Amino acid sequence: MTAFRGSKILTVLAIESSCDETAACVLRLRDSGEAEILASRVASQDEVHRPHGGVVPELASRQHLKILTPLVQETLAASGLAASALEGVVATARPGLLGSLLVGLSFAKAFAWTLNKPFIGVSHLEGHLNAPYLETPGISYPHIGLLVSGGHTALYHCRAFGDDALIGATRDDAAGEAFDKVAKMLKLAYPGGPVIDQLAKSGDPKYHQFPRGQVKGRPLDFSFSGLKTAVRYYLERRGGSLCPPDQLEQLAPTESELHNICAAFQEAVVDSLIEKTLAAAKQFGDKTVLLTGGVACNSRLREKITEVAQDQGLSCIVSSPQYCTDNAAMIAYVGARRLARGESSPWDLNAYPTEIMKGPQDS
Ligand code: KG4
Ligand code: ZN
C-alpha cells in the first residue's frame, strides 16, 4: 500500500462505529487545514438500545453490520463523488466496544484495499478533541480540551495536532453515564442526557444542593459516583424517612419536582465540569478552552461555561451539537490530517477497547 504524499486537497471516506452510532463521512481537507464536509451521515441506534436502558454491545455490533454498507453508499452518493475519487479511507480503531469497532475497521480496510488507497485507523478521543476544527479552522495551540461524553470525561492539554496530554480524568463514572444513570432512576428514557437537559429548562437549579465531586489531591480529576448516590438517597428519603427501593413508586416525584431535581442534578455536573476546566486553563496559562463529546450538547453547560470563561478573559469554543456527539466527520478530519503528513496504518491494525493499548506500529 502506498502512503498518501502531499497535495493541495485530500478527500477521504471515514467510518465511525465505536459504540452505538453508525456514521460515515466524505471530507475534503485543504492544505490550509480547512475541512469541507461533502456528506456526513449518522445512524443512531437509540431505538435498538432504549428498551434495555443502555447500550447492549452484541446488539450494537449486529446493528453496525446491518446498516454500514447502505449508509456508506448513501454517504458517497450524497457527496457526489465516485469511490475512485477517494484518496484514503479512515476508521475509528480505538477506544470503544471491540465488536463494534471491528465492524467499521474491517469494512474500511476492505474498502481501501479494493480501491488500492491508503487506510488509517485513528483514535475516537482524538476525533472528539479535533471536532471543533471542523467549524473553526485555525484554533491556536496550546489550549485545554474538555472531552465529556457517555464513555469519557477527561481534560487534555492540547499542545499541537496529535500531541494531547491527559491532565485529568474521571475516577468513576463519565458525566454522560451519570446523566444516563440518574435518568434511569427517574424513569426517564435512554439516553438520559438530552431528556434531563430538556426537563431542567423549567426547573430550579437551586432546588437542592447536590455534591460537586472532588478527588483528594487531584484538582483536575472528576468524580460523579457520589453525586449519583446523592440523587438516589434524595429520592429514597423524600417521604421523610428512608424509603425502601421497592416502595419508591409510591413516592414518584410530581412533575414540577422532577424538573427541579433534573435542574439541581444538572447544575452539579455542570459546576464540576466548569470548575476543573477553568482550573486547568489557569494551571497551564492557556487562554482557550474547547468543549467536545455528547455532554457538550448540554444547553446549561454551553451557556454557563461561555459566560464564566468570558468573565475570566478566556475564549470558549463549543461545536454545533451534531459534531459534539459521535460522528464520522471528526474521524475523517483526524485521518485526513494524518494521511496528509504521510502516515498510514498496516492492514493488520487491530481494534482496541481502550486508548492506552496503543501498539508501537499503530498510528
Ligand atoms: O459523545 P457521545 O455521542 O458518545 C460517547 O462517545 O459516549 O455521548 C453520548 C452521551 C450520552 O451519555 C448522552 O446522555 C449524553 O452524551 N448527552 C447529553 C446531552 N446530549 C447527549 N448529556 C447532557 N445533556 C445533553 N443535552
Ligand atoms: Zn464519543
**pLDDT at position 297 over 90:** yes
CA distances from 316 to 221, 305, 322, 327, 346 (A): 20, 7, 18, 21, 37
Q: 277-287, pLDDT tens digit by residue? A: 999 999 999 99
Q: What percent of the chain has pLDDT over 90?
A: 82
For residue 359, pLDDT beyond 50? no
Rounded CA-CA distance 260/311 in Å is: 27
Q: Looking at residue 321, what is its pLDDT?
A: 96
Ligand 2 centre and the CA of 199: distance in Å?
23
- Per-residue pLDDT, 242: 53
Q: What pLDDT does residue 356 have?
A: 61
324 contacts: CB under 8 Å, gap ≥ 6:
131, 291, 292, 293, 294, 295, 296, 297, 318
Residue of the CA atom closest to atom 14 of ligand 1: 193
How high is the pLDDT of residue 347?
97
**pLDDT at residue 250 is higher than 60:** no
Ligand 1 atom with the shortest distance to the CA of 180: 14
Peptide bond into 132 cis (omega under 30): no
> What's residue 54's pLDDT?
82
Distance in Å, CA 84 to ligand 1 centroid: 35
> How far, in Å, from the CA of 294 to the mean position of ligand 1?
3
In angstroms, what is the span from residue 251 Cα to ligand 2's centroid?
Answer: 35
User: 201 vs 178, 300, 306, 326, CA distance in Å?
Assistant: 18, 8, 18, 24
Name the residue with the closest Cα to ligand 1, atom 16: 294
For the cut 90, the answer to whether the pLDDT of residue 116 exceeds it is yes
Q: Which ligand is nearest to the CA of 293?
A: 1
pLDDT of residue 287: 97
Placement of cell 480505538 in the chain: 94
What mean pLDDT is predicted for residues 133-143? 96
361 pLDDT band, cuts 50/70/90, is very low
**Ligand 1 atom closest to residue 20's alpha carbon, by position in its atom list:** 4
Average pLDDT, integer, range 70-96: 98
| CA 131 to centroid of ligand 1, rounded, Å | 15
More confidently predicted of 329 and 248: 329
- Where do runs of H (alpha helix) occur along 116-208? 124-130, 132-135, 175-185, 192-200
State which ligand 1 atom lies nearest to the alpha carbon of 124. Answer: 6
> Which has more confidence, 194 or 55?
194
Q: Which of 1-5, 43-47, 246-250, 303-307 has the lowest mean pLDDT?
A: 1-5
| Cα angle for residues 298, 296, 330 (degrees, 5° grid) | 140
Mean pLDDT of all residues in 235-247: 64
324 CA to centre of ligand 2 in angstroms: 8
| Banded pLDDT at 46 (limits 50, 70, 90) | confident
Whose atoms come closest to the Cα of 199: which ligand? 1
CA–centroid distance, residue 293 to ligand 1 (Å): 7
Pocket of ligand 1 (CB under 6 A): 19, 149-151, 176, 179-180, 191-194, 197, 293-295, 297-298, 325-326
Question: Which residue has the least CA distance to atom 10 on ligand 1?
Answer: 150
pLDDT tops 90 at residue 205: yes
* Residue whose CA is at the smallest distance from ligand 1 atom 13: 193
Ligand 1 atom closest to the CA of 325, numbered from 1: 3
**Whether residue 160 has pLDDT greater than 70:** yes
Mean pLDDT of 8-36: 94
Q: Are strands 143-148 and 21-30 parallel, antiparallel or unpaired?
A: unpaired
**What value does the mean pLDDT take over residues 131-152?**
96
pLDDT at 357: 42
Residue nearest to atom 20 of ligand 1 (CA): 194
pLDDT value at residue 251: 60
pLDDT class for 2, splitting at 50, 70, 90?
very low
- Strands 143-148 and 119-123, by their bridges, are unpaired
Q: Angle 98-115/57-79 helices, nearest 10 degrees? A: 30
**Residues 165-180 pLDDT 10s:** 999 999 999 999 999 9
Residue 177 Cα: closest atom of ligand 1 = 12
